[in-house]
Structure 1
Amino acid sequence: MKIYISVILMMATITFYAQETNDQYQKWSAGRPDGHAPISVMGDHMHGKGEWMFSYRYMHMNMGDLKLGSDDTTTDSALNNYMVTPTNMPMNMHMLGAMFAPSDKITLMVMFNYLSMEMEHLTRMGGAFTTEVSGFGDVNLALLYKFFNKNQQTLHGQLGFSIPTGSITESDVTPASTPNETELPYPMQLGSGTFDPNLALTYLGQNASISWGSQVKGVFRIGENDREFRYGNRYNLNNWLAIKVADWLSFSARLEGLIIGEIEGTDPNLNPMMVITADTTNSGGTFMNGGVGCNIYLPTGALKNLRFGFELAAPLYQDLNGLQLKNKETLTFGAQYAF
């Protein structure tokens, strides 16, 4: 938490100094392909009074193989301590979002998502099985407030929270429960079960052909859900640089630092000795991720302000708490239309 506050203060100081020391008065503009951050970054921009924007994003994330801390390990090693180990977990997420600006200073945002996940397993006896879940996740609401837009730089804050509409009681049939379904471990649940506030601060800058940005964000888990646990807090710092190569095209590179806290509490329906994903000591970690992508923007015509974004990201470093599947590639594609 102290690190999170320090980063916010540092960003605010740097951007305020830049605002005061540049004599040229020119507003930062979203009307160019690099006027939005890479498509994987949420809440990166604001809108003018009366403007709406609707968006769709698709994200595919894959996890596979095992890590113990920062070191690779084997399924055989995991099965020495647990009856079951996961081997692979693909996840697909569809996100629908809307933004509306009642004034030049304030933009309101809402985000809905639909998830589908699979987890493949091996048992100590040599068997294999797969569990699957799908459904709607938590709904996210936020208010964005613009502090300034001057000298081709802008700074805005975000205050939001999630509504726990996603299920935390998803179940499926496993070899040990056949023919009945049993509740699945934490990574296979669709929501958090708690009202989770979030805070963010985003700085953007640009010149004639290059744009850059930085966003620090924290998601804070408060209270305890109906299953007597809560997920760990989440802190991330995103930095990106984009090059505008045409009025309709830009390319971007992104670097993210991410810290996820360990799950607190224990779901009484889960046996932590059965599978590694039911043991809360095997949750959370520290990550550094990198991504490359592009934005396509239509500056004129009947579909003016329609844009498409694409990004491929992968972990550069990960140090996991306990024994977990390691993160692999993440693919994000999206479309945004403002009017």
Structure 2
Amino acid sequence: MKKYIYALFFGATSLISAQENTENKWSGSRPDGHAPISVMGDHTHGKGEIMFSYRYMYMNMEDLNRGSDNVPFSNALRPNDVYMVTPTKMPMQMHMLGMMYAPSDKITLMAMVNYLSSEMDHITAMGGTFTTESSGFGDTKLAAMYKFFNKNKQQLHAQVGLSIPTGSIDEEDVTPASAPNEVILPYPMQIGSGTWDAELALTYLKQWNVLSFGTQARTTLRLGENDNDYRMGNRYSLNNWLAIKASDWLSFSGRIEVGAIDKIEGANPVLSPMMVITADTANSGMTYANAGLGFNLYAFKGSFKNVRLGFEAALPLFQNMNGVQLRNKETLTIGLQYAL
């Protein structure tokens, strides 16, 4: 997976010499001119164009995987394992505000802020239950995209970005063992990464009369170690989507994503890895495959011209996890985009 994604990045250099064509270009002024709403950095803009966007994402994790096998909660608890507590469910909600601006036809700049809220339900080895919560503004994303070419209804562009660690890594809540005091929460319940992260992507787009195709290789590389003596795992993904233009205002899409997440390196010394599975870094990292179905609505004229509404529902096809972790379930994404 990693070698394939890196090969896509470096292989793009062979296409940079392609000449710009003023006719027969790939067009964003179609309902399928943007990727499924869950895909970021999928398109660029012409000189002087600005786009504002809002996305809402709901992601649910529930039940346990050991490797790729679904296991009961008792499998992770004493006396079957070393842990005193296991999570049973973790719904997460994210609100994302973004802006894109193109100072030239070749370069598009992008900024995004987000707000996250998570809940995690737990069960103890003694049969007790409790819930912890965290919420706040996450890491801020800044990026620049460079368009190599747009000709023959095809486009290739690269993204170089930076994730700024504005999200908290010190979220706390009360647990039965700590009551009435708050204690620091495990890694999945933290809002940010705590590190400056490089975000790189390469996207290829192709359009036909009623069909469009896109593929995007993306990686997030963690730089250094955060103030709590760990860093989250690097991320690698390859997204492929196909969309059908049903009319001038409606398209339907299907998407398949394969990816990998590395283990957490280091450890927060405050967390006890034998207390709960989410505090043990051995239970982090995975390989996975997801599939999504969605639609785009695009206003090409009238009072709402250039307003786009996108929706996608995604489910996992495969997930092979290090150690024992919550299973990924459904992910729902809905978003509005407005270009001017």
The answer to whether the 8 Å contact 1:141/1:160 transfers is yes
Matched residue, 2:152: 151
Partners of 2:209 and 2:13 lie apart in 1 by 24
4+ runs deviating over 6 angstroms:
none
Q: 2:94 corresponds to which letter in structure 1?
A: M
Matched residue, 2:65: 67
The answer to whether the 8 Å contact 1:24/1:151 transfers is no
Cα deviation 1:43-91 (Å, max 9, x = unaligned): 0000111110000000000000000001111111101220000000000
User: Aligned to 2:222, what secondary structure does the other structure show?
Assistant: coil
Q: 1:279 corresponds to which letter in structure 2?
A: D
Q: 1:73 corresponds to which letter in structure 2?
A: V
Cα deviation 1:177-229 (Å, max 9, x = unaligned): 00000000000000000000111100001011100000001100010000000
Shift of 1:233: 0.3
Partners of 1:108 and 1:16 lie apart in 2 by 20
User: Aligned to 1:221, what secondary structure does the other structure show?
Assistant: strand
User: Aligned to 1:45, what secondary structure does the other structure show?
Assistant: coil
Shift of 1:302: 2.0
Identity %: 63
Pair 153,64 (structure 1): closer, same or farther in 2 beyond 3 Å: same
Partners of 2:40 and 2:210 lie apart in 1 by 23
Unmatched tracts of structure 1, length 5 or more: none
Matched residue, 1:203: 204
Partners of 2:147 and 2:46 lie apart in 1 by 11
Matched, 1:46 2:47: no
The answer to whether the 8 Å contact 1:28/1:149 transfers is yes
The answer to whether the 8 Å contact 2:8/2:202 transfers is no
Matched residue, 2:244: 243
User: Aligned to 1:196, what secondary structure does the other structure show?
Assistant: strand
Matched residue, 1:181: 182
Matched residue, 2:268: 267
Shift of 1:3: 3.2
Partners of 2:323 and 2:50 lie apart in 1 by 44
Shift of 1:4: 2.3
Q: 2:307 corresponds to which letter in structure 1?
A: L
Shift of 1:125: 1.0
Shift of 1:9: 4.2
The answer to whether the 8 Å contact 1:298/1:307 transfers is yes
Partners of 1:256 and 1:307 lie apart in 2 by 23
Q: 2:24 corresponds to which letter in structure 1?
A: Q
Shift of 1:25: 5.0
Partners of 1:231 and 1:327 lie apart in 2 by 18
Matched residue, 1:220: 221
Partners of 2:23 and 2:145 lie apart in 1 by 23
Partners of 1:16 and 1:223 lie apart in 2 by 32
Matched residue, 1:102: 103
Matched residue, 1:115: 116
The answer to whether the 8 Å contact 1:60/1:331 transfers is yes
The answer to whether the 8 Å contact 1:234/1:261 transfers is yes
Partners of 2:196 and 2:10 lie apart in 1 by 26
The answer to whether the 8 Å contact 2:16/2:148 transfers is no
Q: 2:57 corresponds to which letter in structure 1?
A: M
- 1:1-339 to 2 correspondences below 5 Å: 1-9=2-10, 25-80=23-78, 81-339=82-340
Q: TM (normalized to structure 1)?
A: 0.96
User: Aligned to 2:223, what secondary structure does the other structure show?
Assistant: coil
Partners of 2:118 and 2:199 lie apart in 1 by 25
Q: 1:58 corresponds to which letter in structure 2?
A: Y
User: Aligned to 2:246, what secondary structure does the other structure show?
Assistant: strand
Partners of 1:284 and 1:226 lie apart in 2 by 21
Unmatched tracts of structure 2, length 5 or more: none
Pair 12,252 (structure 1): closer, same or farther in 2 beyond 3 Å: farther
Shift of 1:10: 5.0
Q: TM (normalized to structure 2)?
A: 0.96
| Count of residues in Structure 1 that have an aligned counterpart in Structure 2 | 335
Partners of 1:103 and 1:238 lie apart in 2 by 27
User: Aligned to 1:246, what secondary structure does the other structure show?
Assistant: coil
Shift of 1:8: 2.9
Partners of 2:134 and 2:62 lie apart in 1 by 18
Pair 239,10 (structure 1): closer, same or farther in 2 beyond 3 Å: farther
Partners of 2:11 and 2:312 lie apart in 1 by 28
The answer to whether the 8 Å contact 2:160/2:198 transfers is yes
The answer to whether the 8 Å contact 1:11/1:203 transfers is no
Partners of 1:25 and 1:106 lie apart in 2 by 19
